[in-house]
Amino acid sequence: MEVLQNRLLEWYAHFGREELPWRKSEDIYHIYLSEVMLQQTQVNRVKEHYYPLFLKKFPTLKDIAGASLDEILSVWSGLGYYSRAKNLHECSKITQEYFPQNIEDLVQLPGIGKYTASAICSFGYRQNVAVVDTNIARVLKRFFALTQVSDSVVWKYATKFLNFRDARSHNLALMDLGAMVCLPKNPKCEMCPLASGCKGRGDPEFYTLKKKRVYENLELFLGVFIRENKIALIPSKGDMYKNMLELPSVDPIDEQFIGTFKHSYTKYRLNVNLYRMEENSEEEIVWVALDKFDELPISSLTKKIKPFLY
């Protein structure tokens, strides 16, 4: 086990993604923010746009706590899974003076589960705790040949394999190994530093089979009502985009059709149809100047209407 742990760290020293900005930071807020953003989001999108933009606007947790939710959502706009931003806002109000240093207290905060708490303790506070995300779980399931096991079992094996001499680098190495080598499909076993001890190497994909996701197709009919260079939006009534602004739903009239686009989120595949409106009966209309459109707390779906506005 020790030989394989050393090989893993040697691999990480050569190929690990230490250039990621949050890995260069000792600031717990930076590490916490990156973990929140990286949930359900590709690393490059966070690294190249949202992470630096958010830190520029909100350099500290106190800055987030002092901002309105609309301000937070406007910067988060397009990143998706907006409950993350809401939880971040709530968490900042609690932790602006003190951020907990143990898993038990961290998981009591809004939006922080076992993984995020463990990541903060390992990557930020450099504690000897195991971390298990999707990538690490895939590596461990294959390495130990685990089939149909619960998450708690995977966490136990993560602790069993943990390198207590350098737990932070060990966890980051496993994460990068899963992201770069031990891929969901066609893993690069010949490049893996753990290959000699991997019990699942003969059929790695067998240990991480997933049920094919079934998507639900939906049609949306939205109205575009523009007057005096302002567009009519309404507060979202659904849980998905709560507290955000969106286009109102309308009854489709062929003569008023503008265009259509596709959008996806969670288990839904949406076909969004836009119609020009001459009048609006919605009671909660918010009129917004078109030149302020990019600054609004809106979803990535609503952002896609921009090409149809002119």
Q: 2-208: CATH homologous superfamily?
A: Hypothetical protein; domain 2 (1.10.340.30)
- Residues 6, 130: Cα–Cα separation, whole Å: 17
At 130, list the tokens: 């195991």
Q: Which residues of 44-60 are buried (b: 16+ CB within 10 A; e: fewer)?
A: eebbeebbeebbeebee
User: Residue 168: what pLDDT?
Assistant: 97
Catalytic site residue from 2, 35, 219, 278: 35
Is residue 35 part of the annotated active site? The answer reads yes
Of 288 and 190, the one with more pLDDT: 190
Q: What is the mean pLDDT of residues 266-283?
A: 80
Q: Which fold has domain 216-308?
A: Nucleoside Triphosphate Pyrophosphohydrolase (3.90.79)
Please, which pLDDT band fits residue 245 given cuts at 50, 70 and 90?
confident
The answer, yes or no, to whether residue 114 has pLDDT greater than 90, is: yes
- In the chain, where the domains are located: 2-208, 216-308
Amino acid 78: pLDDT = 81
What pLDDT sits at residue 291?
84
Tokens of 190: 């010949």
pLDDT score at 57: 96
Q: What is the 3-state secondary structure (H, E, C) of 56-95?
A: HHCCCHHHHHHCCHHHHHHHHCCCCCCHHHHHHHHHHHHH
- Residues 85-112: tens digit of each pLDDT: 999 999 999 998 789 999 999 999 999 9
Query: Would you state the pLDDT for residue 268?
Result: 80
Question: Cβ distance 189 to 195 under 8 Å?
Answer: yes
Per-residue pLDDT averaged across 147-164, rounded? 94
Q: Which of 171, 170, 174, 98 is nearest to 135 (CA)?
A: 174
Separation CA 152–CA 294 (nearest Å): 43
223 - beta bridge partners? 275
State residue 239's pLDDT score: 63
